[in-house]
Amino acid sequence: MKKTHNYTCINCPLSCSLELTEEDGEVLEVRGADCKVGQKYAVEEFRNPRRTVSTTVRVQGGVLPLLPVVSAAPIPKALVREAVRTLAAVTVEAPVADGQVIYPDILGTGVDIIASRRLEAGVSG
């Protein structure tokens, strides 16, 4: 049975409305994309949606109590909530270098969680 799925392309400010038609999991057509990036995005959203994780972890002995962290690559969308929950329980020791691996291979995805900034040792508050 044919089904349509609607997405909004997030790859540029035009935010094209995409309509993907599939039949039994096979992509038949993508409409509404103004370029190939959007075509590809709609197919990825249908087959294997992924998102970049962006959150914070606690810091011990740093000038700030929290460190912003990000996934080095997008992970499956279905795992984002669990990844954020996992990272909520993580505490790192300052100092931290920009890009330092904070949590390797989050949830077995092969993707590392890394520091978004450097954080010096010191007293927070």
- Rounded CA separation 100/77 (Å): 23
- Rounded CA separation 24/50 (Å): 21
Which stretch, 30-38, 67-75, 79-87, 88-96, contacts ligand SF4 (CB under 6 A)?
30-38
Interface with ligand SF4 (CB under 6 A), residue from 3, 4, 6, 12 = 12
Interface with ligand SF4 (CB under 6 A), residue from 28, 35, 78, 101 = 35
Interface with ligand SF4 (CB under 6 A), residue from 6, 15, 60, 124 = 15
Angle at 11 between CA 20 and CA 32, to 5 degrees: 30
| CB-CB contact of 95 with 120 (8 Å) | yes
Rank residues 51 and 117 by Cβ distance to ligand SF4 and give the closer one.
51
- Rounded CA separation 7/115 (Å): 31
Interface with ligand SF4 (CB under 6 A), residue from 23, 29, 34, 105 = 34
Token digits of residue 78: 């279905």
Our finding on whether 9 is near ligand SF4 (CB under 6 A) is yes
